[in-house]
Amino acid sequence: MDIFSSLHLSRRRLIGAAVALPFTASVVRAADPSLSFDLYGKFGVLGLEFSDKVKRLAGQEISMKGFMAPPLKAEAQFFVLTEVPMSLCPFCSSDADWPDNIVVVYLLEKQTFVQPRQTIEVRGRLEYGSWTDPETGFVSLLRIRQAEYFSV
């Protein structure tokens, strides 16, 4: 990410720059609550229910560790964060589906995609509720918006 390319330096960008410094990074990391992939409080044939923690953190800045699924399109502004490295590309294989516990990540700005096996930490604002991506038609129920990520 070229942080000097624009005069507009958002808070996120400043954090991005700060992450480069190990000392500051640990301070920043401690600031936002982290979310794990235990996203649901209840499972059922007639639907799942998000956990109290997910509901409580909605609207807040959070951090979350996971893996980047093979991107939908190279130029997409979003990717799917998964708990384990995706062994299958749901759009390549004829009978594979996304797992239930995925989080869609909308990037504040484009970043270089990383290896799906690389653990990443995503930071951004948590949002839940059904949303259909206008460009791709991809429907998601849980998202991190204005996000950025780095390898951990």
Partner 1 sequence: MRTFLAAFAATTILAGAAQATTVYPLDRATILAGSPFDFKVELNKQVKPEDVKIMVNGQDYRTVLGGEAQFVELEKGKDDKALGSALLLRGLKISAPGAYKVEVAAGDETKSVTWNVYETAGQPKAKNIIFLLGDGLSVAHRTAARIMSKGMTEGKANGRLNMDDLDHLAFIGTSATNAVATDSANTMSALMTGHKTAVNALGVYADRTPASLDDPRVETFGEAVRRTTKKSIGIVATAEVEDATPAAVVSHTRSRNDKADIVGMLLDVKPEVLLGGGSAYFLGKEVAGSKRKDNQDYIKLFQDAGYKLVTDKNELAANASAEGNLLGLFHTGNMDVTLDREFLKKGTVDKFPNQPGLVAMTKIALDRLSKNPDGFFLMVEGSSIDKMSHPLDWDRAVVETIEFDQAIGVAREFQKAHPDTLIVVTGDHTHGVSIIGTVDDEKPGTEMREKVGTYAEAGFPNYKDENGDGYPDKIDVSRRLFLSANNGPDHYETFRPKLDGPFVPAVQNEKKEYVANEQYKDVPGAVFVQGNLPKSSESGVHAVDDVVLQSAGPGSEEFHGYLEQSDVYRVLADTFALGAKQTN
Q: Which positions lie near partner 1, rule CB under 8 A? A: 40, 43-50, 70, 85-89, 92-95, 97-98, 100, 113-117, 129-130, 132, 137, 139, 141
Phi/psi region, residue 87 (left: phi>0; alpha: psi -120 to 50; beta: rest), is alpha
Nearer to partner 1, 15 or 105 (CB): 105
Q: Least distance from C-beta 36 to partner 1, angstroms?
A: 16
d(CA 119, CA 127): 22
Closest CB to partner 1 among residues 17, 141: 141
Nearer Cβ to partner 1, position 13 or 131?
A: 131
Q: Tell me which residue of 138, 125, 108, 80 sits closest to 10, measured CA to CA.
A: 108
Q: Which residues contact 27 (CB under 8 A, 6 or more apart)?
A: none
Specify the 3-state DSSP secondary structure of 72: coil
Buried b (16+ CB within 10 A) or exposed e, 2-12: eeeeeeeeeeb
Query: Closest separation between CB of residue 131 and partner 1, Å?
Result: 9
CB of 43 to partner 1, least distance (A): 4
Measured from the CB of residue 99, what is the shortest distance to partner 1 in angstroms? Answer: 8
Name the DSSP letter for residue 71: P
Give the residue with the Cβ less far from partner 1, 7 or 45: 45
